[in-house]
Structure 1
Amino acid sequence: MANQSAKRVTQQNAQRMSLLSKLFIGINAFYIFIRVVFQYRSLSWAGSIMYLATAGVETLLYMNLYSVSRPRYDPGGVLVSSGTDLSQPGLVSYMFDYIYISWFVHVLSLLTKWAWALYFVIPVYVGVLAAPYVKQFLGSRSSSEPAPSAEDEAKEKKRREKKERKQQRAKYVRA
C-alpha cells in the first residue's frame, strides 16, 4: 500500500514536470521571438539584463525542482524514493510561484517596460509572510511581562507565605 502512494507521487511529479518543461520552453521562446523579431528596436541593455537575470533564477529553480522530484530506484529497478512531492506546501510551492511570476512578467514586459516592477511583489509577499514571526520575536524581547495587578500581587504574596510556613515546619526523619 505504501508503495502505491510512492508510485502515485512519482507519476504526479512526472506529469507536473512535463507540463512545466513545455511551458518553460514555450514562454521563454515566445518572449525571445517577439523581442528579437518584432520589438528589436525597443530592445535595451537594461531589459536584456533583467530578462537574463530573471530567466537565470527561473532556470536554477526549474533545475532544482527537476532534481528533487526525480524518483530513485535500486539496481533491481525497485522504487526506493519517489522524490519530493511537488504538490506540497512550503519551499516547493514558493519556487513554483517565482517561476509563474517570472513568466507573467516576461509576457507582460512585451507590452510595457514597467512590468519589471512587478518583481517588487515578491519581497512584499515575503515581508507579509514574515511579519507575524518578526513581531513575535521582537515583542518577546523588547516588552517584558505586563505589570501584575494588585490582586495578582496579593495571590503571589499568599503563595510565598504558605510556602515559607511549609518549609519552617519541623521535619521528622525515620531512622
Structure 2
Amino acid sequence: MAQKAKKDRAKANATALTNLHYGALIVNAGFLLFYIIFRSRSLVAWLLMSTPAFFCQYMIERAGRPRFDAQTGALRSSGEDLAAAGLTEYMFDVVWVTWGVEVLVVLLGNKLWFLWAIVPAYGAYKGYGLLGSARQMAALGGLGGAGAGGAAAGAPDQPAPNRRQRRAA
C-alpha cells in the first residue's frame, strides 16, 4: 500500500497520455491522408494551426509522464496531475479545439480554420479576467500591503464580514 496515490496517479497519467497520443495520431493522420488523396485543403494552414497543439502535447507529455527506475523498475515520479485545473486544463482544451477544427476543415472546407481563433480569444478573455482580479485585489490590499482603503488611510482595521453578514446587507 506504500505510495498508492502516486501509483494511481501514474496509471491515470499513462492512460491519459496514451489516449492523447492515439487521438492526435488519428486526427492528424486522417487530415494528411485526406490531403494526399484530394489536395483540396491547405497543408500550410494545417501546420500553422497544429503547431500550438503539438507544443501543448509535448508539454503535457513532459509534465505528466511517469518515470521509473531503469534498474529496479520502481516508480521514481508519478508526474504532475493531468486532471488538475489551470494551465494543464487549458493545454488540453487547445489540443481538443485544434482536433475539432481539423475534422471540420476536412469535412467542410479551408475557411473553417478561422474557427481556431476561439483559442486565443478564450485565452485573452481569461487573461483579462485574471488581470481584473489582480487589480481588485491590489485595490483592496489583498496582496499583503495596505490597500487604498486600508490602515494607511487612517481607518481602523475591521474584520471582513462573514457570509451571513454579507447576505443580510
TM, length-normalised to structure 2: 0.72
Q: Give matches, 1:15-164, under 5 Å.
A: 15-37=15-37, 39-40=38-39, 42-43=40-41, 47-74=42-69, 75-110=71-106, 111-137=108-134
3-state secondary structure, aligned to 2:112: helix
Q: CA deviation at 1:56?
A: 2.6
Change (3 A) 1:137 1:77: closer
Q: Which runs of 5+ in 2 are unaligned?
A: 140-146, 157-169
**CA drift at 1:2:** 5.9
Distance 2:134 2:65 in 1: 37
How far apart, in 2, do the equivalents of 1:131 and 1:52 lie? 29
Structure 1 match to 2:6: 6
Contact 2:35 2:43 in 1 (8 A): no
| Change over 3 Å in CA distance of 1:117–1:10 after alignment to 2 | same
Residue type of the partner of 2:125? V
C-alpha offsets along residues 90-112 of structure 1, whole Å, 9 cap, x if unaligned?
Answer: 11111111110111111111212
Quote how far apart the aligned CAs of 1:136 are.
4.3
For 2:124 and 2:51, the matched residues in 1 are separated by: 24
Q: Runs of 4+ in structure 1 displaced over 4 angstroms? A: 136-141
CA offset at residue 77 of structure 1?
A: 3.0
Q: Letter of the aligned partner of 1:50 in structure 2? A: A
Q: CA RMSD in A?
A: 2.7
> What is the count of residue pairs matched by the alignment?
143
* Superposed CA offset, 1:41-96 (max 9, x none): x34xxx22110122232222212211221222345333222011111111111111
Task: Name the amino acid aligned to 2:80.
Answer: T
Rounded to whole Å, the distance in 2 between the matches of 1:130 and 1:59 is 22
**Aligned in 2, Cα 1:99/1:136: closer, same or farther, shift over 3 Å?**
closer
Range with greater deviation from structure 2 (130-139 or 2-11): 130-139
Q: CA deviation at 1:18?
A: 1.1
SS of match in other structure, 2:72:
coil
- Tell me the amino acid that sits aligned with residue 115 of structure 1: L
